Structure 1
């Protein structure tokens, strides 16, 4: 596969692309150590990226067997088109290495983990902006001579180690370096603490060195599950199950999920409110030809009505952060065992959020006084760190969570309820005139999410998108245009693309 040591004229070069916390530096040190332990000359350099996910750190290693007692001159940076091995600790970093020309079809072995750690550019947009991993698969098959790929992050988790261990194992199993396996393992064992877990991860990576599990296209689309369970666990809940079964079959699974979400958000009575609203919408749908359209109107309502009713607020956030299951999950993910675990929550309340927790009448009175709102904002608008692993910090959030019992009387709930009624009112008025547009009006609710500034931006886009509904009502393609508005609104934070589509609609 590669030149034999005695015949090698050029250094063997390895590029490692890893993010913070993945052990890229440790992996590089291991590679250098195993080369030097076998009498080779080895050198490593690194160029750090920006932050943790906007750019990976590039580690570069060159090694060469001894020749006549003379130390070789080794390069400090990889040369595109002249790298023997590329190791990528995440799938899109493998794609980045291909774009940089580090992987070449006549020379390079590409070792990559297939898991994803989403980039800032993927997470910052409101809509679906996740890069398609199959693009990397297609490129890797062309750009690299050989590919070893599988989910090494999962392998690391299963062995309570970090991803550098299975990456090192895959490198050893690939046979790229002419060193025996015990030499690789000796380097890991020399690390002392955590060596047993790292050796287990190494063994799994070594055994999987022949795999290529890069993501492929789905063989068939996912089938929507529409079968309800036989029971929800109690006679009281099973009464609601009967109501769910009375809904159209196309709606039942999503309606069950929506019911569970609204009950978890508030209480069983709130789940009943959700079902009552959905039943009324289903009746209207049936009366206006929904049966011939697979009850698309009600199916969309089942999802977005639950999202609207289970809105994000400070009470809900506090409730999620103080659940015992969350503490158990974090301890399990961190492999804490019996070791003490410190959990710090970062909060940044603003005046609007604080006032939204007031009784509706008082909150409206305070909101109408700009001077008072500015005074409150000066007092509360700052970042806070709350250690919920301590009793004092836990009680702070637990008290906020306890406001759930009074939530229906608070300003935020009154505001959200009025907004839901206006939204459903527009959809039901549109339904007799333009079925598909009414369905799209319901789908526009996906623009509203989060709280504080995120909620305000989403609500602004939502209102702007729905302002076009009267202009589209008489058009047969009105629903398609509303879908375009929604897609445009999700493309950027400020809604510039949305404004462009709105302008087109108004000029038609």
Structure 2
């Protein structure tokens, strides 16, 4: 990637490391830098080393640039970055910025760090039952110490707003940082020379250039800001308006926003009548809350009930999964995420591994129980059903099959799975209601324990097992003023590892309380 007529000197080259994942255009960014340098008469070389650190693998693209001189000798440039000897690090995702510091590529005497604050979660973060996400605040704090200069803002969102990809924004940020001896025009000419999506790329480039030149940075936090749902004056449908009016007239102001979010969830999951069932349960729980003195606690019990009751009533079943996978909005989101153009055809292949439990759960309650009780038939069918399948939702056969399953929604209330979930909800609420009059915090924590149950298939089964273990400790904590705190610790322990060993240890501690008494 070096022109033979160049005559570089032996002064130290400019070293640039780009850390990017598949689909983020790290290679394009490296090519733009090389193309620009060569157009300006510099010697330039780029190499790349694929990695498997996370997601589909993070790649390090390494670029060295060397100013020409009159000696007429060609330089020998390095193929890989050296710790403590990198001038510029560009990270296309915020945790990659953290990894660059851990690798020693960022140094306070030398390195300018340019990073996007958006997150693309690693497999290791996603597989944790609870919150396994890395803390970006630690990366932000470290960058203020480890780098000579830091430019960090959400380049992914900026690029999307301008109809482009993150590589364009990163190139603009590099230009705006003023750390390379090339004019803005030279940068823009390199983009134009690429010949693809030039106008959108230049828009993203310009927006990022202005942000970097102005020195603005975006704040980071581990969790996104929570925006409370705003109750509309009208939902535009008589049945939905009736639900809204009922919510406003029966629930306290402190619980209305979360209750509205829950109501939207259960109505989307089933229908307005199911929304009425949700409000029936929630209002009954609020009445108990008032009798227990909840007004003095800002009705924390009601707020927890509004959230976790909606999650419990809108459980994931085969109907829900099929519905979500066949929605037009999902196909649109996939196209947007991969940056597909209007003329490009996108096919989605889903990996599904159904179990006989899901099939039996989708049958009418009586038939499902009969099938479950017939061990020989059940196991025979399970050998046929329980296997991995690659479902191509872009084909008529698979789309029609999933669409048919999603159309079973009107029959959901009669399915065995629905009976099972409603019985489980009733037992859960009975336990929470039982301790509410004497231990408000413990009752509220018992509602919050429902966060352990999530997902589908094996994930749901594991979560429910842990949930049942945690709820078994409620009677043991009923007489303790700090019972709610201890139940919260049990939930945290349940989320700490998939095998549940941490939870078992925490439960042993709880049982020791009763033994000591």
Pair in the same fold by TM > 0.5: yes
Post-superposition Cα deviations, 1:214-243, rounded to whole Å, max 9, x if no partner, equal 44378xx97985874333323433332332
1:193 aligns to 2:188 (yes or no): no
Post-superposition Cα deviations, 1:36-64, rounded to whole Å, max 9, x if no partner, equal 22222222222211165275211112221
Is contact 1:318–1:401 with CA below 8 Å preserved after alignment? yes
1:485 aligns to 2:490 (yes or no): yes
Q: CA deviation at 1:412?
A: 0.7
CA distance in 2, matches of 1:23, 1:7: 31
Q: Tell me what 1:307 maps to.
A: 311
CA distance in 2, matches of 1:108, 1:501: 46
CA distance in 2, matches of 1:244, 1:82: 62
Q: Tell me what 2:385 maps to.
A: 380
Q: Tell me what 1:365 maps to.
A: 370
Aligned partner of residue 89 in structure 2, secondary structure: strand
Q: Tell me what 2:3 maps to.
A: none
CA distance in 2, matches of 1:102, 1:469: 51
CA distance in 2, matches of 1:49, 1:419: 45
CA distance in 2, matches of 1:281, 1:399: 37
Q: Mark the CA change 1:181 to 1:227 in structure 2 (over 3 Å): closer, same or farther.
A: closer
Q: Mark the CA change 1:96 to 1:217 in structure 2 (over 3 Å): closer, same or farther.
A: closer
Post-superposition Cα deviations, 1:49-100, rounded to whole Å, max 9, x if no partner, equal 1165275211112221234111222222212111111111111111111122
Q: Please give the TM-score of this superposition, normalised by the length of structure 2.
A: 0.91
Q: CA deviation at 1:372?
A: 2.5
Is contact 2:8–2:73 with CA below 8 Å preserved after alignment? no
1:272 aligns to 2:276 (yes or no): yes
Aligned partner of residue 165 in structure 2, secondary structure: coil
Is contact 1:137–1:214 with CA below 8 Å preserved after alignment? no
Post-superposition Cα deviations, 1:463-504, rounded to whole Å, max 9, x if no partner, equal 111111111111111111001111111122122221121111
CA RMSD of aligned residues (A): 2.4
Q: CA deviation at 1:197?
A: 2.8
CA distance in 1, matches of 2:424, 2:232: 33
Is contact 1:247–1:279 with CA below 8 Å preserved after alignment? yes
Q: Tell me what 2:52 maps to.
A: 50
Between stretches 17-26 and 229-238, larger displacement belongs to 229-238
CA distance in 1, matches of 2:51, 2:477: 48
Q: 2:443 aligns with which of 438, 441, 458?
A: 438
Q: CA deviation at 1:170?
A: 1.9
Q: Mark the CA change 1:56 to 1:444 in structure 2 (over 3 Å): closer, same or farther.
A: same
CA distance in 1, matches of 2:294, 2:510: 27
CA distance in 2, matches of 1:321, 1:185: 41
Aligned partner of residue 72 in structure 2, secondary structure: coil
Between stretches 8-17 and 367-376, larger displacement belongs to 367-376
CA distance in 1, matches of 2:327, 2:80: 49
Between stretches 263-272 and 363-372, larger displacement belongs to 363-372
Aligned partner of residue 396 in structure 1, secondary structure: helix
Q: Mark the CA change 1:183 to 1:237 in structure 2 (over 3 Å): closer, same or farther.
A: closer
Q: 1:317 aligns with which of 318, 321, 333?
A: 321
Q: Tell me what 1:18 maps to.
A: 20
Aligned partner of residue 150 in structure 2, secondary structure: strand
Q: Mark the CA change 1:494 to 1:365 in structure 2 (over 3 Å): closer, same or farther.
A: same
Post-superposition Cα deviations, 1:360-405, rounded to whole Å, max 9, x if no partner, equal 1121122223332332222122332333334333211110001111
Q: 2:409 aligns with which of 404, 407, 416?
A: 404
CA distance in 2, matches of 1:370, 1:434: 44
Q: Please give the TM-score of this superposition, normalised by the length of structure 1.
A: 0.92
Consecutive unaligned residues in structure 1, runs of 5 or more: none
Is contact 2:51–2:58 with CA below 8 Å preserved after alignment? yes
Q: Mark the CA change 1:225 to 1:491 in structure 2 (over 3 Å): closer, same or farther.
A: same
Q: Tell me what 1:176 maps to.
A: 179
1:119 aligns to 2:122 (yes or no): yes
Aligned partner of residue 137 in structure 1, secondary structure: helix
Q: Tell me what 2:460 maps to.
A: 455
CA distance in 2, matches of 1:100, 1:301: 46
CA distance in 1, matches of 2:353, 2:123: 21
Post-superposition Cα deviations, 1:80-129, rounded to whole Å, max 9, x if no partner, equal 11111111111111111112221111111111111111122221112223
Q: 1:152 aligns with which of 151, 155, 171?
A: 155
1:208 aligns to 2:211 (yes or no): yes
Q: Tell me what 2:511 maps to.
A: 506
CA distance in 2, matches of 1:82, 1:491: 39
CA distance in 2, matches of 1:129, 1:341: 31
Is contact 2:308–2:450 with CA below 8 Å preserved after alignment? yes
Tell me the number of residue pairs that the alignment of Structure 1 and Structure 2 aligns. 502
1:74 aligns to 2:77 (yes or no): yes
CA distance in 2, matches of 1:223, 1:12: 43
Post-superposition Cα deviations, 1:158-203, rounded to whole Å, max 9, x if no partner, equal 2332211221222223232223333333333232233333333333
Aligned partner of residue 53 in structure 1, secondary structure: coil
Q: CA deviation at 1:207?
A: 2.8
Q: Tell me what 2:86 maps to.
A: 83
Q: Mark the CA change 1:180 to 1:293 in structure 2 (over 3 Å): closer, same or farther.
A: closer
Post-superposition Cα deviations, 1:386-427, rounded to whole Å, max 9, x if no partner, equal 333343332111100011111111111111011011111111
Is contact 1:331–1:337 with CA below 8 Å preserved after alignment? no
Aligned partner of residue 18 in structure 2, secondary structure: strand
Q: CA deviation at 1:460?
A: 0.7
Is contact 1:86–1:103 with CA below 8 Å preserved after alignment? yes
Q: Mark the CA change 1:90 to 1:116 in structure 2 (over 3 Å): closer, same or farther.
A: same
